[in-house]
A = this chain, B = another copy of it.
């Protein structure tokens, strides 16, 4: 159960969005979502708050409030969610900062890794929420 590109929080987030984008109602409370997806409430709330902050969902406070989708599923990219919940994506950190790589820009291994990184990132950038749900 290791080395997953997508962690639990992101996974939950995708499913929350899946639920909301397939749904009939316009606005959903954390309670609604919890009942449908059985994600622990406090954890779910944290996720929803992040989705709001990240501009993926809009939130409305107070009675009758909840969360609303604001963007088309075609315009939400997996990479956005990954970065929102897991921070910037990278292939490898440069370990030998001082010792082997006095000039970081010339470290061959690093350059190769960055190329690999770019490939994977491009793969990820092409994936929309819509494509995950269709």
Interface residues of A (CB under 8 A from B): 1-6, 8, 10-12, 14-15, 18, 37-38, 82, 86-93, 95-96, 99-100, 108-109, 112-113, 116-117, 119-120, 123, 127, 131-133
A90 B132 Cβ-Cβ under 8 A: no
**With A112-B131, A112-B132 in contact, is A96–B3 under 8 Å at CB?**
no
**With A99-B37, A116-B127, A120-B123 in contact, is A92–B11 under 8 Å at CB?**
yes
A100 B37 Cβ-Cβ under 8 A: yes
Residues of B within 8 A of A99 (CB): 37-38
A1 B108 Cβ-Cβ under 8 A: no
Contact residue among B86, B92, B95, B132 (Cβ-Cβ distance under 8 Å from A2):
B86
Closest chain-B Cβ to A73's Cβ sits at a distance in Å of: 13
